[in-house]
Chain A
């Protein structure tokens, strides 16, 4: 992976990123081929420019990352490096202006992104993004409904998921606004797991939480990756998170641990 400096303009400089991975750096082509079957998501020279931006004013340019199942990743970068833009591209909330993102061998350009979001990936936000007028279990069931999941007792399944992320059953009928930040984030994770997606994408999931809760949440993500073979991608500023994950992608340089 190379770093191309186009001009001295700082705003452009931050968009032309030389990405590297601290672990993948020394791997040769053969290793890559070997691992290719585990790659669930591949970002290939993805660029993004807002529709009202100038022709050269990219929010993200020529980014290429691969993500494998069973691993937990962190995407790190300074403010304005396009972390959120990248997250929105991965989660199918926006489409690449150039390049492409391939999920399970299929370009997102060819996929129904609504379907992709409600069956292939689960998204967890820093501000949880739960519906405040619903209870914890209702938020989880809503996600199952959006997926079209056909199971007999959705509430039971919701409680099961809540327990899995460390929430007591007693919380099931509690409005989410009456839950603490950590509890809300657990509900958000449970919601993202409701239809058993292959990949979890989390945007600063521990940004609003204390250190103890952060550790607990990270433990949940680790379990999902290592025990349930899910690919977990976390966009973060936190060094704690970066220390806990398997791979860190830096939007300035690629590091492999």
Chain B
């Protein structure tokens, strides 16, 4: 009590100096608050961004393994490679289900494709080379290209990567399309195919397999392929003109009806951590995945998106360190001057029997009281300004994030989606999840000064005060009261 009382008297007495110390700490506190808020926001933003990009694993060819013994200069080598490719054991939907039953996998979705011929519609004639083997559909060896149409079934909207990426955009869509699209024989067709066959929304089309079985589908939407994404821009029709999009269940039903139908599957697994990919691959091999396949991740894509935010984070860290360093030095110097000015007072107090420890505590208390008030005021000012500063620093991120969200919405025909964007997270683990993919919307960065920031600020501030007062503490220990008083006399 005596220490605090004396400290308070000294603070009141040395108003000028304490106001100066207070202003310096206030500036440091403001800078720290803004910096900490930006840092924390940047970290949150990075986390959000990474979570918006799920940790995805797909199955791809192990090209290195396949090309190991391949010698293109020799006919035998080429034949051996072709033979090797033909003998790769494919995986089926039941294999995918089996693979997905892993502690490392949070959810999964897939694309299922089968080749069918037109019954009531005609294939649009295109110039593209349809004889090219479809390496993309590596799950099976269904020769989808020898038929008129490729019927591609998605297990959920998550799987509709062409729409997410913007390669396809929905140009017309039935009002209730997304409510029923994944529950029955409904399709989306290319607008060129629709035009070629004079088809419109809610028309029914019939397709048939090579055994002559027919299957009826209702058109729920008409999509277009964006030219800039087409590699065959010189052809009359786009690549996807004869691609008909449906849901995976519809294809499962077809393959159940006709076992001769060969379907190919492309699964995407959402995993908990990229660190577990190797373990997951080993598990897949154990469960029967051919070793000519390997697991591929989207880690690079997710990382590349946050590089600018990471730059802001590291800028904030550098700024924080420089602020603390300069602030610390200034406080240190002021403390030294303070001690020199108050040498006589120290001498008198020591002479009347106040211990070095109590005296040190009094001096530190003075600084801590001033620092505490300045830190609070600084935190308040920082809190008010941090949001604006954060937003201006991260403006580009916000803009690109917003653009991307709007873009995806439009690709899915967003205007007719009743404004509902169910979180796909809710459908995790459900192979028939029908949720809409969500990309985090950043209309502004919520750079709030929360309890965490306040505690960090308090910790940093008090540490700075204590470190900068070390010199004065040491001086008090070394002062001889008699020498001080003699000097004064």
Q: 0/1 per residue, B337-350, Cβ < 8 Å to A? A: 00000000101110
CB pair B353–A119 under 8 Å, yes or no, is yes
A93-B482, A133-B13 as given contacts; A123 in contact with B351, CB under 8 Å? yes
Please report the C-alpha to C-alpha distance between residue A93 and residue B2 in the assembled complex, in whole angstroms: 22
Which residues of the other chain, A, contact B485 by a CB distance below 8 angstroms? 125, 127, 129
- Counting CB contacts under 8 A, is A98 at the interface? no
Query: In the complex, what residue of chain B is closest to A126 when comparing beta carbons?
Result: B489
Please report the C-alpha to C-alpha distance between residue A125 and residue B345 in the assembled complex, in whole angstroms: 14
Which residues of the other chain, B, contact A142 by a CB distance below 8 angstroms? 6, 349, 352
A125-B485, A131-B345, A146-B2 as given contacts; A114 in contact with B351, CB under 8 Å? no
Which chain A residues (121-145) contact chain B, with CB distance < 8 Å?
123, 125-127, 129-131, 133-134, 142-143, 145
Which residues of the other chain, B, contact A215 by a CB distance below 8 angstroms? none
Interface size on B, residues (CB 8 A): 21
Q: How far is the CB of B477 from chain A (nearest CB, A)?
A: 13
- Counting CB contacts under 8 A, is A42 at the interface? no
Q: How far is the CB of A122 from chain B (nearest CB, A)?
A: 9
CB pair B481–A93 under 8 Å, yes or no, is yes
Please report the C-alpha to C-alpha distance between residue A15 and residue B214 in the assembled complex, in whole angstroms: 126
CB pair B348–A129 under 8 Å, yes or no, is yes
Please report the C-alpha to C-alpha distance between residue A251 and residue B227 in the assembled complex, in whole angstroms: 111
Please report the C-alpha to C-alpha distance between residue A250 and residue B351 in the assembled complex, in whole angstroms: 25
Q: How far is the CB of A46 from chain B (nearest CB, A)?
A: 16
CB pair A147–B482 under 8 Å, yes or no, is no
CB pair B354–A114 under 8 Å, yes or no, is yes
CB pair B352–A143 under 8 Å, yes or no, is yes
Which chain A residues (62-84) contact chain B, with CB distance < 8 Å?
84
Q: How far is the CB of B34 from chain A (nearest CB, A)?
A: 38
Please report the C-alpha to C-alpha distance between residue A74 and residue B351 in the assembled complex, in whole angstroms: 21
Q: 0/1 per residue, A94-127, Cβ < 8 Å to B? A: 1000000000000000000011111100010111
Please report the C-alpha to C-alpha distance between residue A125 and residue B347 in the assembled complex, in whole angstroms: 12
- Counting CB contacts under 8 A, is A88 at the interface? yes
- Counting CB contacts under 8 A, is A222 at the interface? no
Within 8 Å by CB of B482, from A88, A118, A143, lies: A88
- Counting CB contacts under 8 A, is B488 at the interface? yes
Please report the C-alpha to C-alpha distance between residue A147 and residue B6 in the assembled complex, in whole angstroms: 14
CB pair B354–A118 under 8 Å, yes or no, is yes
Which chain B residues (9-40) contact chain A, with CB distance < 8 Å?
9, 13
CB pair B351–A145 under 8 Å, yes or no, is no
- Counting CB contacts under 8 A, is A191 at the interface? yes
| 5 residue pairs A–B, Cβ–Cβ below 8 Å | A93-B481, A94-B482, A129-B485, A130-B348, A134-B9
5 closest A-B pairs by CB: A118-B353, A117-B353, A114-B355, A145-B2, A93-B482
Q: Taking beta carbons and an 8 Å cutoff, which residues of A are in contact with B? A: 84, 88, 91, 93-94, 114-119, 123, 125-127, 129-131, 133-134, 142-143, 145-148, 191
